[in-house]
Amino acid sequence: MTPLDRARLLDTEMQLQRAWLEINLRAVSTAVRESPWTKLQSLKLGSLGISLLKHRSIWIAVVSLFLNLYRRHAKKEKS
């Protein structure tokens, strides 16, 4: 394979990768537009508030915090 053939092959491969990335970007941006999180934008929480709502780990931490508070409160009432 000559250097020119190799260069053409690499150029074609890069064009395919670019096209694949564009297709994936379109799919992701379409999914983002259809996401229920976009409805929260109207609440004006700001980008930090929206990003906090998106993370499951933060939701789990909040739920576990409330559960622990509830358990402590229930223990106090039993005593």
Instruction: Name the residue range of residue 22's domain.
Output: 1-34
Which is higher by pLDDT, 6 or 77? 6
Are residues 1 and 27 located together in one domain of the fold? yes
Cβ-contact 75, 69 below 8 angstroms: no
Task: Tell me if 7 is assigned to some domain.
Answer: yes
Closest CA to 53 of 41, 70, 68: 41
Residue 40's pLDDT is 63
pLDDT above 90: residue 2: yes
Are residues 51 and 28 located together in one domain of the fold? no
Each residue of 12-68: pLDDT tens digit? Answer: 999 999 999 999 888 888 877 777 766 666 666 666 666 666 677 877 888 899 999
What is the sign, positive or negative, of the torsion defined by CA atoms of 22, 25, 29, 31? positive
